[in-house]
Amino acid sequence: MKVEEPLIFEKSKPGKIGILIEEEEDSFLQEIDPTLLREEIKGFPELSEPEVIRHFHRLARMNWAVTLGIYPLGSCTMKYNPVLNEEVAGLRGFLELHPEQDMEDIQGILEIYWRLEQLLLQLTGMDAATLLPAAGAHGELTAIMMVKKFFAEKGENREFVLIQDSAHGTNPASASIAGFKTREIKSTRSGMLDVAALEKVMDEKVALMMMTVPNTLGIFETQIVEIAEIVHSKGGFVYCDGANFNSFVAKILPSRMGIDLMHVNLHKTFSTPHGGGGPGAGPVLVKKELEPFLPIPRIVKEDGKFKVSCDFPLSIGRIKSFFGQTAVIVRALAYILSMGGEGLKRVAEVCVLNANYIRRMLEEFFYLPYKSDSLHEVVFSDKFQREKGVTAMDIAKRLLDYGVHSPTVFFPLIVKGALMIEPTETESKEELDRFIEAMRKIAQEIEENPEVVKTAPHSTPVKRCDEVLAARRLKVRWE
């Protein structure tokens, strides 16, 4: 069924209201300074309560959601988030906290920050943490600023950050915002970092090598220890973009792979629903050497009490107001505690199993540009289908007609026409089969009648959007 839903402003009729305010109850208005009261809000939509509720419910039904089915966006880890975590984060005590409350009165939440830090340190093997960054990219920036300050303190002038050609776009962006120049390192035919190329460019001008583990092709860098040795031999640091930590959480300690600092995405691995730019958190974990540079404020435990301290003279300073994304932090702690160590191991095992099941079931139908073993995601390309004039974007759009969210397309950039599929550990075999079936049917349609795929989607309320125009001429306000 196709639903035409006008904007709420277009549905407005002057004089309609949602609630009745009795005259005598109006008296509270008398207590407000009249200069602060508005007679009218220009363009304010006027509707009844059921009209408002129905409007938003109809819009919500046009959306895809992880509560409807698989959401296999590679790199994004769109997994199902247990309701338990929502219930805990929604407890009144958390909702009504104020960051300027007396430390004595907020010991509970300070302990939650502290306990999550301790658990993340245990899971990564690192020495010190900050929960402040509001996203993965923000964690990258925070970490790179710490490295910059570290070398500034030592009086060393290091200008470069090394980045894999398969890296997430946030890596070079963060390095550049922190004031570094970037040097790109190519991947080999096996989809791993070219160690010989690294040896050539690694010198005393390089501050940091940024590695994504597993990389964005879903491949584990088997030479990571050797890579770390090369970087360390010239005095540089090794950074791990751990946004996709779910693929090896509780299985391997990043600290033992030679990693000096890293971020993890609470909103991917540790179960916060995300999308549309938030909410999230990108805690940064570091080795001892870098601890003095962590941002402030930090949570410290003294004589059994928790407090917030800004007394760290070498800190890079503040990167965020107050203490971080509290609800995301509470959800992450609830998730880790409810899963336990064995549960987290299963997370890593099942997300890898699911990705490999999809790989095996689709590799006859779609081209697999890198054949190395897959971890939590698998990257195909549209190479076979392009012969019929069909691209990864067309396939993504056609999937919507089958009631399936599309995978990530056209990323990583080193794969032409990439289809990057990450099923996550929360999908059942039945749901994976539904996705596989849709992909196989589309491959068949492309053989028999490519037009139907090229003109997809046919069943959604909105057809293809002009994504470039939407980004270039952003218009978020109705006039």
Ligand X SMILES: *Cc1c(COP(=O)(O)O)cnc(C)c1O
- What track of x and - describes contact with ligand X for positions 56 through 95 (by CB under 6 A)? -------------------x--------------------
Strand 206-212 and strand 284-286: the pairing is: unpaired
Judged by beta carbon, residue 170 or residue 315, the one nearer ligand X is 170
Rounded Cα distance, 141 and 144, in Å: 5
Q: How far is the CB of 166 from ligand X (least distance, A)?
A: 9
Selected from 81, 164, 182, 244, the binder of ligand X by CB under 6 A is: 244
With binding defined as CB under 6 A, does residue 219 bind ligand X? no
Cβ proximity to ligand X, 169 vs 343, nearer residue = 169
Q: What is the largest CA-CA distance in the chain?
A: 81
The minimum distance between CB 278 and ligand X, in angstroms, equals: 8
DSSP string of 113-141?
A: HHHHHHHHHHHHT-SEEE---SSHHHHHH
Q: Which stretch binds ligand X (CB under 6 A): 133-141, 249-257, 333-341, 377-385?
A: 133-141
Please tell me whether residue 265 binds ligand X under the rule CB under 6 A.
yes
Least separation in angstroms between residue 405's CB and ligand X is 16
Number of Cβ atoms within 10 Å of the Cβ of 339 = 18
CB closer to ligand X, 274 vs 398: 274
Interface pick for ligand X out of 135, 161, 209, 231 (rule CB under 6 A):
135
Burial class of 15 by CB neighbour count within 10 A (0 to 12, 13 to 18, 19+): exposed
Q: Which amino acid is at 27?
A: S
Near ligand X by CB under 6 A, which window of 119-127, 135-143, 153-161, 450-458? 135-143
Which residue's CB is nearer to ligand X, number 136 or number 457?
Answer: 136
Strands (E), 265-331: 284-286, 298-302, 305-309
Site string for ligand X, 290-319 (x = CB under 6 A): ------------------------------
CA 178 vs. chain centroid, Å, equals 20
Nearer to ligand X, 139 or 457 (CB): 139
Residue nearest to ligand X (CB): 136
- CB-CB neighbours of 224 under 10 Å: 21
Does 218 contact ligand X by CB under 6 A? no
Q: Which is nearer to ligand X, 75 or 426 (CB)?
A: 75
Burial of 336 (0-12, 13-18, 19+ CB in 10 A): buried
- Return d(Cα 227, Cα 178) in angstroms, integer: 23
Residue 142 within binding range of ligand X, rule CB under 6 A: no
Q: How far is the CB of 216 from ligand X (least distance, A)?
A: 6
- Which of 210, 243, 249, 399 binds ligand X (CB under 6 A)? It is 243
Strands, sheet with 206-212, edge to edge from the N-terminal-most edge strand = 128-130, 284-286, 261-264, 237-242, 206-212, 160-164, 181-185
CA distance 378 to 183: 26
The residues, ordered by sequence, that sit 6+ positions from 433 with a Cβ below 8 Å of its Cβ are: none
- Tell me: does residue 407 bind ligand X (CB under 6 A): no
Binding residues among 158-177 for ligand X as defined by CB under 6 A? 168, 170
Asked if 212 touches ligand X (CB under 6 A), the answer is yes
> Which residues of this chain interact with ligand X, rule CB under 6 A?
75, 135-137, 168, 170, 212, 216, 241, 243-244, 265, 280, 282
